[in-house]
């Protein structure tokens, strides 16, 4: 068997996917908020593959996009030690098919570019806004010519909740969910309502302003991705929700650089 392992390394977790013939056969997550060694990463990857009936020799290539520099060395070492594979790293200088039109191209996160690669592949010749709900909620903007114009960053839902808890005496963590009513009747509901509708209002306003600034003759495709995208599925914000967008973009980048 022949598989490709793709790893999206974020601030809270690694989101991984194993591809076979252009299709993801399974996905997994690994918490990265604590310091992680190459052995911890390697043993976890071996374990999760074994549980899904895939052996180490079955993995022929590994692709990584990372926004956590302190994990890059450990992850690279794990690929070499446990898989004997030099991983492909999505970074400045590799082929992406995307023209970066920002003032500081080297500062653009690999996850943003990976999402844009997949988005422009699915919707060619369209302006696109990729809204990625992670530790940070990001809005990546691309025009119809595959030019990455820039992004907007917003504190993610979990970061906002943790900030409330850490900065106040009586507020606490709650389940992040869509509340039944806008006005909460207890502290639990008040926090949920503020988190959800505050984020929803920000999303609407940011997308509206992006549309004004694009000044193009067609509305952009709005793609939702990331862990909390489905939370807003009923709000008619997105053209489509693609939870695996970054993994597919990373896979496409690997093929482009093969």
Cα 137 to Cα 111, 168, 224, distances in angstroms: 12, 23, 10
- Establish whether domains 3-89 and 99-243 are of one fold: yes
Domain 3-89 has CATH 3.30.420.40: yes
Across 53-71, b (16+ Cβ under 10 Å) vs e yields: ebeeeebebbbbbbbeeeb
- Note the pLDDT tens digit of each residue in 48-62: 999 999 999 999 999
Q: Where do we find the tokens 């907007």?
A: 152
pLDDT at residue 121 in the model: 97
Confidence bin at 32 (pLDDT 50/70/90): confident
- Residues 226, 211: Cα–Cα separation, whole Å: 22
> Residue 215's pLDDT band (boundaries 50, 70, 90)?
confident
176-190 average pLDDT score: 93
CA angle (89 as vertex; 85, 94 as ends), nearest 5:
125
> Using CA atoms, how far apart are residues 177 and 191, in angstroms rounded to an integer?
10
- Whole-number Å distance between alpha carbons of 249 and 8: 10
Sheet strands side by side (includes 99-100) = 99-100, 147-155, 136-142, 128-133, 221-226, 240-241
Side-chain half-sphere of 183: how many Cα atoms within 13 Å? 0
**CA-atom Rg of the chain in angstroms:** 19
The model carries a pTM of 0.94
Pick the CATH number of 99-243 from 3.30.420.40, 3.20.20.70, 3.60.15.10, 2.40.160.10: 3.30.420.40
Asked whether 93 and 60 are in contact (CB, 8 A), the reply is no
Catalytic amino acids? 111
Q: Which region holds residue 60: left if phi is over 0, alpha if psi is between -120 and 50, else beta?
A: alpha
Q: What ranges do the domains of the chain cover?
A: 3-89, 99-243
Residue 35, pLDDT score? 67
Rounded distance between C-alpha atoms, residue 164 and residue 187, angstroms: 12
């Amino acid at each position: 068997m022949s598989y490709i392992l793709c790893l999206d390394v974020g601030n809270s977790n690694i989101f991984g996917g194993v591809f076979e013939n252009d299709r993801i056969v399974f996905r997994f997550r690994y918490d990265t908020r604590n310091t992680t060694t190459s052995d911890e990463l390697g043993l976890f990857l071996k374990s999760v593959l074994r549980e899904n009936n895939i052996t180490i020799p079955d993995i022929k290539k590994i692709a990584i996009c990372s926004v956590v520099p302190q994990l890059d060395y450990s992850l690279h070492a794990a690929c070499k030690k446990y898989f004997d594979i030099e991983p492909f790293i999505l970074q400045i200088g590799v082929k992406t098919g995307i023209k970066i039109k920002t003032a500081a191209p080297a500062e653009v996160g690999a996850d943003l570019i990976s999402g844009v690669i997949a988005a422009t592949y699915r919707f060619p010749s369209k302006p696109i806004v990729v809204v990625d709900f992670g530790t940070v909620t990001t809005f990546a903007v691309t025009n119809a010519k595959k030019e990455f114009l820039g992004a907007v960053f917003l504190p993610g839902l979990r970061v906002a909740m943790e900030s409330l808890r850490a900065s106040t005496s009586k507020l606490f963590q709650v389940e992040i969910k869509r509340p039944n009513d806008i006005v909460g009747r207890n502290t639990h509901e008040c926090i949920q309502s503020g988190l959800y509708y505050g984020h929803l209002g920000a999303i609407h306003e940011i997308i509206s302003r992006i549309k004004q600034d694009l000044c193009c003759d067609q509305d952009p495709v709005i793609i939702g991705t990331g862990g909390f995208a489905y939370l807003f599925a009923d709000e008619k914000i997105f053209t489509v929700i693609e939870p695996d967008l970054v993994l597919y973009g990373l896979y496409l980048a690997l093929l482009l650089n093969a």
